[in-house]
């Protein structure tokens, strides 16, 4: 049996050995091997860590021997010897797990110093203050991390010493003060730890290694692993590296830089540095660092080295690098490199540039940008560089940001909006009656209602910023105030909303505008070349449709007709229809609605000329179009007690009776969707007629309308044959009257488990199918969205029962399984049957991946998420290759 | 090619040729062949009917030839000739489809008469009145059925003639009047049909056959076939049979009899007869028929023949027969026999007797009784022999019947019930506050709420009669009146309910008591020998458990704990727990509930000693234990407007805030089931502790308690591990304290689609599983039961989208499919894992069949349905052999 290899010199490792050497160790090895100026060093493997714990916290047999042998190699390289009393080799000891756990684990610098070797350092550097300060820092760090001495004890002594010496900053302490401090530090260690500070450098090193291993099981690391689902048996590697010093004088320094601008993507070095300083000085912010460009003037030779390093690293890693470096006596050392974090806009620009430069392929470029980040580019944003107070946080119901004057009712919002005033409409919750105000407001804020509340749905449809269900706000519509604790906002006060995070901000915050750059278009063009999944949009109006086209949608996957019913001038007719006592009365109201609906469909079909438009027939329960029961009860009770207007009372009582008759215990599972159509076929007939009349008009005008009539909430072929028959009759009637051929395509929305299970039987009568995964999630999981989000779902996420909100990211075990079943059963009846998904999951990247996997024909989402879906679909196609 | 055989003599057919000869024809053939006195005749096959229509309403080639040949055979047999002017053979022509369609199709009697042959009949019978009346009836029947003359025209002429002759009844018309009437009838035919009445008997016969064929496509037959899903291409056979006459004098007669008493099952002939009469005279009820026993005195020889016929038929068909017979001049003829319809009690007694007599096997006996009929035997019933008015019909929420005095509130019900008074509790709807009244009432009547409303669920649990959602009733709780149209019932008026049909009856109706006969026990004992499926009961109290045992349940499949929370003395504590602001306050209330719960479980586990008791932890949303929001709004509004008690107002407003905070848009899909347990683990811990403390007490007393703790509304293994952990901890704590070993079995209720799909993963952490098919139906189909029944579901049943209410009979395509998936996935993880079903489907015979098919371990249903399930399970086992 050959002995296990516990210790690797940097030059023995490489980038793809992260599991064995840790992320940091693997990267240091890679940089060493491509000839970059990395201070030499060695890495103890993660296996060593695991063996150490397995053996009951004992170093595995042979490890120490390997360590000293490899350390000798390092000594040879650097030309110094560990523990040399004339010119000692000092090392840093750092952890490095396979998966980055920033700040979670420990580091020790300047290891190898003691009362003897510090003298050697002084003579070698001719810098007593630097040397003694390094020794002091080492005792402090080692005492804290390895020996468990409370950090504060050292800080106290330091402060006392500074006071005694009248020193303002650490660096103002002279050599004598530092010597005194070092003595005091050693006493503190002996007193607090119960043992003396170890003198022997090799003992120091072994103890430091043990301490780094131990930090893998520190409570904060354990919690971090639990949260991020990092397995405990990965273990950590330990890197032992020769120290270099940026604080050795004015020809030394330290800095951090990106190879390109991470904010804009511009191909120029971006970063800052500080001469005669160590990393922690830059972080502390006591001295102001210089922009990296200044280095060219300060030290052209070093800058030249750095430019070369950057170029080498970017070419080697084929991505923007975020580099930490130190200059020691004019010599550049690279201490770390990693992929540079960047904004969405920068990410796109960099990816496109790098393809242009031949550095990466289009496919690689597409995999470089997180689809969700694209949303940042598409909405107005709160300027991330500005600080502000947050009044309260509600649900992030519709992304984007807005500022404006507070108004408390829709009429005022409309009037002031018409006057060009920017207003935010604040309501406890919105109703169809508020639509005209919502249209004219910059953003919507409500204290009640969830992510599918009226306000949220309408706002998302309009791409308008909305914060919902912000129940920390006490909104008094009569007094026209918003109260949170002692803060009171009044009508006309300025307020800002961040619909992407749910933040409500008092006053006005600076917003930044979206910009669809050329690079953005190029980039998404590549995505379209690669993806096999179609990307459609949800759109209810011609304006939505235009936006959808602009965002790159190639069809409408869901056109909801109920929002058309809710428009201000139509709602009274809709209510008349609902309250109708006879079929004749109902038909009369429907006849009034027909021309409105026809115009709606005409506009959308025209905007989408030549592209499919999936039109869903009326879906919500009829009581959604009537006033709320609770407020009616209050009105009726009040009129009774105050002996109010008898006629009015009777009218309201009649209305209340109807509202009560239509009231449902669980409206989500009640008379809605095609159940309304089964009960009142005349409603669906009117809608079908409107669709076909619009199509006929457009055909005569030379357009190519492609309506697809969709029946919602289907669970049985019986519903489908009944309603399909009625729709086909209407198509024939309209075609006959117009003397024109009209195609009649009818499909179903699969949004209930039974429908998915019966997809084969339903496919016999369907020309297409789309999944309504919002309702499917509600029923498959038994989750009422309105009653789950912000309520029990919070506990489910807290307890990690769910990793994600299933309304945002498709639940694969339940909903995904049903979709998979439906697709295979549906296509077993009709090969190639079109399956789409509409609703918010259609714009979620993870869900889009699943849709690609189960071979859907298209995803459909709100226009603003179309670019997200296009990219996610492309990535899914690339990853499944 | 041999010619097709269109015509069969009766002696050429047999009972198993129903598809070809129709039900009637096959039975006539069978009886002929076993030597019974059946008037000879022939049958035209259903194929003939189909060939006739296929050829465009033309008799198929060769049919007529066969008909006359076979008719000649019949003539030979009877010794008369068709169309003979001296002694003509007369025939009846009747339809006979393969599947009985009672009253749907046409019949013609006395065919073969004309002006000449009637003379022959007169001379042969020496009875002019009889002969002429037969002729008159023939013209009328033929004119109506074959020639399409409106029935009323003949009736008018008849009435006119009777008036002219001063005749009170038809039979008072003398021969001359009949001759005149015959002339007039013929004129009517000529005038109305536009052609003369056919004279030639053969032509009459051919036309009659065509008319019977045509009746297969009559609108009423088509509708009947559609409703009963009878295929159209079955066609009908036509039976041509020699006429026999029960009205030929005092030695003739007609009657109907059962071979055993169909009401009690007693093995004595049961029926009635009338001498000198035809079948229609018996039906018309003008003369009172004699009991069949009288025939022995009237005509011992004929009675002897009849007893022999009955015995032969019963032995041949091995079942009770319902026989139509005619006596013509002392000679008995059998015209029809079929299985006798019987009451449930009679069915059981007959089946048991016949096994005793060696006539049928136990297995055959078990297949003879419809399981659903057993319910009749188990509840008090409205005496079916009594006539009464029905005030209104509501939902048949809980079977059985009750009469009592109307009371409008629970306190009065309790007080008067305690006094031994029989009362019916009438409410618009019931709440947990009404429990004490429900307990003491004979029955419950509500105007609102569906089959799962509080009243319905509680009443079913108690086996108490209940009619729900009877919205025709205008109930005024203040005025204490029930108004329906002009009828007003007041407190203390008598009222009766039939919970099996939903009928509400003013006044008191006679009820009959259930009787569990020895035969019933024997019969169900056989069922238990045969079935492989376990039958458990749902029971929430020791009383329920005792009833369950009495009904033959061998375990409790569902013990709901929420009803325990709703009891009068506990509800205030439960409300305190819900309104608690801190964990401490909540724990304090739970500590108060613990002893109550422990006693509950102690009682049930003791009653079920040695048998499994599945205890479901708290399931409903917490707001169900709080007052209703709408009434609180009214109270608050009233107090505000009337400047009422400030303290009370504040208290109510606080309560209203909590109710509003807990209010849910879709409570069915909200914070209920284990979601309450995840949010408030202390509630589930208290329940678990109560269960194990009860078990520990019983063990010490020498009992063998078998509790199984069930977690409701599970969708994810994460919920299960969390809650199972807590339950196991409680079990350990209790066991440790008691110094006793306690088994801790924990299972899940599968009531959401995702749970079924994830059964494999859930099985890893489950000791058993049961299906909650009520909720599974609600979510798989997206049907809120409260909002479906009596609402859109009505349209679905009307349109035949659903054949059955899916809450009564398992929906196999959706819910059944999910169950099937769950069983196979669950058992793929744990072989032999126990699966049960609880809820109403567990007592529905059709659903029990399915449960047997998918290999469930047991069904569980309300105690009163246990016998139904036992029999259904036995039948399923027999049928799957």
Smallest CA–CA distance, residue A745 to chain B, in Å, is 22
Of B633, B713, B752, Cβ closest to residue A634: B633
Q: Which of A454, A563, A623, A765 is catalytic?
A: A454
A403-446 residue pLDDT tens: 999 999 999 998 898 888 899 999 998 887 788 888 889 999 99
DSSP label of B790: I
- How many A×B Cβ pairs under 8 Å? 201
Interface subset of A 670-709, CB within 8 angstroms of B: 670-671, 675, 678-679
State which residues of chain A have pLDDT below 70: 1-2, 102-105, 227, 280-287, 450-453, 457, 460-461, 463, 515
Q: Phi and psi (nearest 5°) for A438?
A: -60, -45
Residues B409/B477, Cβ–Cβ less than 8 Å: yes
- Rounded CA-CA distance A574/A594 in Å is 11
Q: What is the mean pLDDT of the segment spanning B547-565? A: 92
Question: What integer pLDDT is reported at residue A850 of this predicted model?
Answer: 97
* Averaged pLDDT score across all residues of chain B: 91
- Going from the C-alpha of A122 to that of each of A125, A127, A133, the distances in angstroms are 5, 5, 11
- Taking contacts as CB-CB distances below 8 angstroms, the residues of chain B near A752 are 780-782
Q: Is A178 helix (H, G, I), strand (E, B) or coil?
A: helix
Say what the pLDDT of residue A799 is. Answer: 87
Chain B hits for A718, Cβ within 8 Å: 796, 799-802
- What is the edge-to-edge ordering of all strands in the sheet holding A7-9? A7-9, A41-44, A237-242, A91-96, A107-111
User: Closest-CA residue in chain B for A681?
Assistant: B795
CA distance B315 to B259: 11
Contacts of B797 in chain A (CB under 8 A): none
Whether chain B has a CB inside 8 Å of the CB on A799: the answer is: yes
The shortest CB-CB distance from B669 to any of A629, A668, A811 is to A668
Q: Does the beta-carbon distance from B782 to A664 stay under 8 Å?
A: no
Token pair belonging to B175 = 């021969």
Distance CA A263, CA B707 (A): 64
Of residues B630, B664, B779, nearest to A753 (C-beta): B779
Flag if A782 and B669 touch (Cβ within 8 Å).
yes
- Is A748 touching B (CB cutoff 8 A)? no
CA-based nearest distance A227→chain B, Å: 15
Render pLDDT for B577-589 as a digit per residue (tens, 0 to 9): 998 889 999 999 9
Residue B284: the pLDDT is 52
B783 CB neighbours in chain A (<8 A) are 669
Which residues in chain A (613-652) have CB-CB distances under 8 A to chain B? 629-630, 633-634, 637-638, 641-642
**Whole-number Cα distances in Å, A466 to A10, A235, A426, A439, B739:** 53, 45, 10, 12, 60
The answer, for B787 touching chain A at a CB cutoff of 8 Å, is yes
Lowest mean pLDDT among B414-418, B701-705, B773-777, B802-806: B414-418
ipTM, interface predicted TM-score of the complex: 0.79
B841 is catalytic: no
pLDDT band at B222 (very low <50, low <70, confident <90, very high): confident
The pLDDT of residue B505 is above 70:
yes
Residue A454 is among the residues annotated as catalytic for this protein: yes
- Which of B838, B841, B849, B852 is labelled catalytic? B838
More confident residue, B726 or B164: B726
Contacts of A627 (CB under 8 A, 6+ apart): A655, A659
CB contact under 8 A, A780 and B818: no
- How many degrees, rounded to 5, is the angle at CA B830 between CA B826 and CA B831? 105
Distance CA A782, CA A668 (A): 11
Cα within 13 Å of Cα(B136), Cβ side = 25
In whole angstroms, give the CA distance from residue B9 to residue B67.
Answer: 10
- Answer yes or no: are the C-beta atoms of B834 and B860 closer than 8 Å: no
Please indicate whether, in this complex, the C-beta atoms of A775 and B754 are within 8 angstroms of each other.
no
Q: What's the rounded Cα separation, in Å, for the pair B705 and B696?
A: 8
Please tell me the predicted confidence (pLDDT) of residue B282: 61
Q: How far is CA A219 from the centre of its chain?
A: 27
Distances in Å between the alpha carbon of B752 and those of A303, A783, B673, B716? Answer: 65, 10, 11, 10
Tell me whether B812 touches chain A (CB under 8 Å).
no
Spatial distance between the Cα atoms of A624 and A686, rounded to a whole number of angstroms: 19
pLDDT of B286 > 80? The answer is: no
Chain B residues with CB under 8 Å of A784 CB are 664-670
- B600 interfaces chain A, CB cutoff of 8 Å: no
Looking at residue A644, what is its pLDDT? 83
Cβ contact (<8 Å) for A718 and B783? no
**pLDDT value for B259:** 95
The answer to whether the CB of A491 falls within 8 A of the CB of A407 is yes
Please tell me the distance from the alpha carbon of residue B791 to that of residue B805, in angstroms, as a whole number.
12
Residue range A819-870, pLDDT digits in tens: 999 999 999 999 999 999 998 899 999 999 999 999 999 999 999 899 999 9
B734-749 pLDDT tens trace: 999 999 999 999 999 9
Q: Are B212 and B242 in contact (CB under 8 A)?
A: no
* pLDDT exceeds cutoff 60 at B717: yes
User: Would an 8 Å CB–CB cutoff place A775 in contact with chain B?
Assistant: yes
As a whole number of Å, the CA-based R_g of chain B is: 34
Say what percent of chain B tops pLDDT 70.
97
- Identify the closest residue of chain A to B761 by CA–CA distance: A813
Cβ-based neighbour number of residue B285 at 10 Å: 8
pLDDT in the model for residue B641: 86
Residue B742 Cα to chain centre, angstroms: 45
Q: State whether B637 and A633 contact (CB < 8 Å).
A: yes
Q: Who contacts B480 (Cβ-Cβ below 8 Å, separation ≥6)?
A: B408, B490, B491
The pLDDT of residue A659 is: 87
Residue of B619, B637, B643, B669 for testing the chain A interface, max A β-carbons within 10 Å: B669
pLDDT (mean) for B221-250: 86
Do residue B795 and residue A642 have CB atoms under 8 angstroms apart? no
Q: Quick one: pLDDT at residue A106? A: 76
For A236, list phi and psi in degrees, rounded to 5. -120, 150
B782:A751 CB<8 A: yes
Res A65: pLDDT:
96
Nearest to A781 among B664, B754, B795 (CB): B754
- Burial class of residue B82 in the structure, from the number of CB atoms within 10 Å of its CB (0-12 exposed, 13-18 middle, 19+ buried): buried
- Lookup result for tokens 């992407």: A500
Contact status of B721 with chain A (Cβ, < 8 Å)? no
For A100-136, b/e burial (b = at least 16 CB within 10 A) is: ebeebbbebbbbbbbeebbebbbeebebbbbbbbbbb
In this prediction, residue B631 carries a pLDDT of 83
Q: In which element (H, E) is residue A772 found?
A: strand A769-772
For tokens 């009951």, the residue is A56
Q: Which residues pair with B399 in a beta bridge?
A: none
Res A2: pLDDT: 67
Q: Which residues pair with A273 in a beta bridge?
A: A255, A290
A822 touches chain B (CB under 8 A): no
What is the distance between the alpha carbons of residues B538 and A648, in angstroms, rounded to a whole number?
51
What pLDDT does B591 receive? Answer: 96
Q: Which residues pair with B475 in a beta bridge?
A: B482
Residue A505, beta-bridge partner list:
A496
* Chain A nearest C-alpha distance from B542 (Å): 32
A754–chain B nearest CA distance, Å: 5
pLDDT at A33: 95
Neighbours of B588 (CB within 10 A): 14
Q: Which residue of B has its CA nearest to A668?
A: B666
Tell me if chain B has a CB within 8 Å of the CB of A844.
no
Quick one: closest CA in B to A754, which residue? B814
Residue in A514, A517, A249 with CA at minimum distance from that of residue A401: A514
């Amino acid at each position: 049996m050959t002995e296990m290899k516990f210790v690797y010199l940097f030059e023995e490792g490489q980038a793809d050995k992260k599991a064995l050497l840790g992320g940091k160790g693997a990267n240091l090895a890679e940089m060493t091997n491509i000839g970059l100026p990395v201070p030499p060093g060695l890495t103890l493997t993660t296996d060593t860590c695991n063996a150490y714990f397995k053996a009951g916290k004992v170093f595995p047999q042979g490890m120490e021997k390997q360590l000293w042998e490899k350390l000798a190699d390092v000594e040879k390289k650097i030309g110094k010897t560990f523990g040399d009393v004339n010119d000692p080799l000092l090392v840093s000891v750092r952890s490095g797990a396979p998966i980055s756990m920033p700040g979670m684990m420990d580091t020790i610098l300047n290891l190898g110093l003691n009362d003897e070797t510090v003298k050697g350092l002084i003579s070698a550097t001719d810098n007593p203050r630097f040397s003694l300060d390094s020794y002091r820092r080492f005792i402090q760090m080692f005492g804290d991390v390895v020996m468990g001495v409370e950090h504060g004890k050292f800080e106290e002594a330091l402060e006392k010493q500074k006071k005694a010496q009248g020193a303002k900053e650490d660096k103002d302490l002279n050599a004598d003060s530092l010597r005194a401090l070092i003595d005091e530090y050693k006493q503190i260690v002996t007193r607090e730890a119960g043992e003396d500070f170890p003198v022997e450098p090799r003992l120091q090193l072994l103890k430091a290694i043990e301490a780094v291993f131990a930090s893998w099981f520190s409570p904060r690391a354990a919690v971090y692993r639990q949260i991020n689902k990092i397995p405990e048996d990965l273990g950590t590697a330990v890197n032992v590296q020769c120290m270099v010093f940026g604080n050795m004088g004015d020809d030394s320094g330290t800095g951090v830089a990106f190879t390109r601008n991470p904010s804009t993507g511009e191909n120029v070095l971006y970063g800052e540095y500080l001469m005669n300083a160590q990393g922690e000085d830059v972080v502390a912010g006591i001295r102001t660092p210089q922009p990296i460009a200044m280095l060219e003037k300060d030290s052209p030779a070093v800058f030249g080295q750095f430019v070369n390093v950057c170029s080498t690293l970017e070419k080697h890693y084929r991505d923007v690098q975020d580099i930490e470096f130190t200059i020691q006596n004019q010599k550049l050392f690279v201490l770390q490199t990693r992929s540079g974090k960047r904004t969405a806009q920068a990410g796109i620009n960099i990816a496109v540039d790098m393809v242009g430069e031949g550095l990466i392929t289009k496919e690689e470029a597409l995999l470089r940008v997180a689809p969700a980040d694209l949303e940042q580019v598409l909405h107005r944003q709160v300027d991330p560089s500005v600080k502000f107070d947050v009044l309260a946080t509600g649900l992030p119901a519709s992304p984007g940001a807005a500022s404006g004057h507070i108004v408390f009712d829709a009429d005022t919002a409309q009037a002031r909006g018409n006057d060009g005033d920017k207003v935010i409409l604040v309501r406890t919750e919105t109703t169809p009656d508020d639509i005209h105000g919502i249209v004219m407001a910059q953003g919507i804020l409500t204290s009640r209602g969830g992510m599918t509340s009226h306000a949220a749905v309408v706002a998302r449809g309009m791409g308008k910023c909305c914060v919902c269900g912000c129940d920390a706000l006490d909104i008094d519509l009569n007094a026209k105030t918003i109260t949170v604790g002692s803060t009171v906002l009044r009508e006309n006060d300025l307020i800002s909303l961040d619909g992407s995070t749910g933040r409500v901000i008092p006053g006005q915050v600076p917003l930044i505008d979206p910009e669809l750059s050329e690079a953005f278009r190029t980039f998404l063009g590549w995505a379209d070349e690669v993806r096999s999944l179609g990307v459609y949009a949800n759109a209810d109006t011609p304006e939505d449709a235009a936006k959808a086209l602009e965002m790159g949608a190639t069809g409408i996957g869901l056109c909801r007709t109920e929002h058309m019913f809710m428009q201000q001038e139509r709602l009274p007719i809709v209510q008349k229809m609902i309250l109708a006592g006879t079929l004749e009365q109902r038909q009369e109201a429907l006849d009034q609605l027909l021309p409105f609906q026809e115009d709606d469909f005409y506009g959308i079909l025209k905007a989408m000329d030549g592209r499919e438009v999936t039109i869903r027939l009326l879906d919500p329960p009829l009581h959604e179009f009537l006033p709320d029961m609770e407020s009616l009860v209050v009105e009726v009770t009040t009129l009774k007690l105050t002996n109010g207007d008898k006629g009015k009372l009777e009218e309201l009582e009649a209305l209340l009776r109807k509202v009560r008759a239509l009231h449902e215990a669980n409206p989500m599972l009640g008379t809605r969707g095609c159940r309304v159509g089964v009960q009142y076929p005349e409603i669906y007939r009117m809608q079908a007629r409107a669709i076909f009349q619009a199509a006929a008009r457009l055909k005569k005008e030379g357009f190519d309308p492609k309506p697809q009539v969709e029946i919602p909430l289907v669970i049985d072929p019986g519903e489908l044959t009944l309603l399909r028959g009625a729709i086909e009759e209407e198509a024939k009637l309209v075609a006959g009257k117009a003397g024109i051929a009209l195609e009649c395509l009818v499909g179903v929305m699969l949004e209930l488990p039974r429908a998915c299970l019966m997809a084969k039987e339903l496919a016999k009568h369907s020309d297409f199918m789309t999944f309504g995964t919002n309702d499917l999630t509600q029923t498959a999981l038994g989750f009422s969205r309105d009653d789950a989000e912000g309520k029990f779902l919070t506990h489910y996420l807290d307890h990690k029962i769910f990793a994600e909100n299933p309304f945002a990211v498709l639940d694969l075990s339940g909903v995904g399984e049903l979709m998979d079943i439906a697709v295979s059963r549906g296509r077993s009846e009709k090969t190639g049957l079109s399956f789409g998904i509409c609703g918010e999951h259609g714009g979620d990247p993870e869900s889009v991946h699943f849709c690609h996997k189960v071979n859907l024909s298209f995803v459909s989402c709100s226009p603003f998420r179309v670019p997200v879906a296009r990219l996610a679909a492309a990535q899914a196609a690339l990853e499944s290759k």
